[in-house]
Amino acid sequence: MPIPPGNHAVGIMIRKRERLRMKGMKVYSDIVIIVFTLQTNVVTILIRYSEIGLKSKPIRKRFETQLKDNIIKMLSNDGIEGLVTSDGSRLYANVADAENATRSIKRVFGVSSLSVTETCGSSMNEICETAAKYSVSRIKEGQTFAVRARREGTHPYNSMELGKEAGSAIFLANKNIKVNLTDPDVTFYIEVRNNRTFIFDSYIRSHAGLPLGSQGRVIAEVNDDRGLLSAWLMMKRGCRTIIVGNYDINVLRAFDPSLKVVAESERDRYRKDILGNVLGTSLENFVTIDVKEYDVPVYFPTIGMSDNEVSEMLDIIRSEI
């Protein structure tokens, strides 16, 4: 396929799953190359995970790949062009539309936080110059500030020296500002990773959890708020969730563009592929459930939550869509 002229970034997206057989083994090919035409004003979003970092090296690598694929798929589903890469314990999304990309990436399970950054090289002079320019539009006269610096790799300075020099550059670039390391009005974060530096002023929290698709499949009965939240919580734990019911399904589709919804009559078709059933049941109604009716484990993610807690959590989830 010919590539059109212009500025491009190549992204990887799961478009379809093609099953191959090699030497009697099941091999899955699910990668399609997509060419994104990016504008010149590309912004880098720094993406962090938490729980994935606790896994063994091979499992961690597999989960990172799954997370990266999920981010690209979410961006593509929302019509946002971008390139997603990984390096060490960080992922990076290079996008032209940072605001909408941030909103999309926040809905990807496995992402614990993200930051929209200004990038530069790793030399002290370049970092100080970039930090000074970055600060001018983000701190007002009379406000206080602090610099939190960290680094990974080998550099001719340590984190404390970096914070001190960058702080001096910011101080000199702005009028009537003061340093307050305890309770600043504005905090500037500088993260040096090998030969690249990322400067930002906020952490945007996400839902963390595990990448969707990293665990097995389950079937969830979604007929009310409690069932809806139960399905969402299992998705957060990395389970591909097949939905039986049609209660406010768009909430779940916002977090899984490939969400599968089936009728009750189709449920038996998936019996061999699932590892559990998910029910939205309160502690008071638990005695009415006969788990012997199911041939796989039954999960009750919201059994310890009150109705008010369920409603409050769903309000937060719906506000992000």
DSSP letters spanning 228-288 = HHHHHHHHHTT-EEEEES-SSHHHHHTT-TT-EEE-GGGGGGGGGGEEEEE----TTTGGG
- Does residue 285 share a domain with residue 231? yes
- Does residue 181 share a domain with residue 269? no
What predicted TM-score, i.e. pTM, was given to this entire model?
Answer: 0.84
- Does residue 132 share a domain with residue 144? yes
* CA dihedral (315, 51, 47, 60) positive or negative: negative
- Does residue 18 share a domain with residue 93? yes
Cβ–Cβ < 8 Å for 204, 289: no
Please tell me the predicted confidence (pLDDT) of residue 23: 35
Please tell me the predicted confidence (pLDDT) of residue 273: 86
- Does residue 137 share a domain with residue 37? no
Q: Which two tokens stand for residue 228?
A: 């809806």
Q: How far apart, in whole angstroms, are the C-alpha atoms of residue 216 and residue 239?
A: 5
Last residue of a domain, one of 119, 144, 168: 119
Cβ atoms < 10 Å from Cβ of 265: 8
Cβ atoms < 10 Å from Cβ of 40: 7
In a domain, 1, yes or no: no
Whole domain around residue 227: which residue ranges? 217-319
In a domain, 63, yes or no: yes
Please tell me the predicted confidence (pLDDT) of residue 14: 35
- Does residue 190 share a domain with residue 110? no
Please tell me the predicted confidence (pLDDT) of residue 40: 57
- Does residue 173 share a domain with residue 130? yes
- Does residue 187 share a domain with residue 223? no
For every residue of 103-135, which 3-state class applies, written as one string? HHHCCCCCCCEEEEEEEECCCHHHHHHHHHHHH
Q: What is the CATH number of the domain that holds 81?
A: 3.30.70.1510
List Cβ neighbours of 184 (8 Å cut-off, separation of 6 or more): 144, 145, 146
Closest to 127 (Cα-Cα) out of 181, 190, 188: 190
Q: What is the dihedral of CA 82, 11, 204, 141, to 10 degrees?
A: -40
- Does residue 140 share a domain with residue 172? yes
Between the alpha carbon of residue 154 and those of residues 49, 110, 129, 166, the distances in Å are: 23, 29, 21, 18
> Any bridge partners for residue 186, and if so which?
145
Q: What is the CATH number of the domain that holds 187?
A: 3.30.2300.10
pLDDT in tens, the chain (321 residues): 343 444 444 444 333 333 333 334 343 334 444 444 445 589 999 999 989 999 999 999 999 999 999 999 999 999 999 999 998 889 999 999 999 999 999 999 999 999 999 999 999 999 999 999 999 999 999 999 999 999 999 999 999 999 999 999 999 999 999 999 999 999 999 999 999 999 999 999 999 999 999 999 999 999 999 999 999 999 999 999 999 998 999 999 999 999 999 998 888 888 888 999 999 999 998 988 888 888 899 999 999 999 999 999 999 999 988
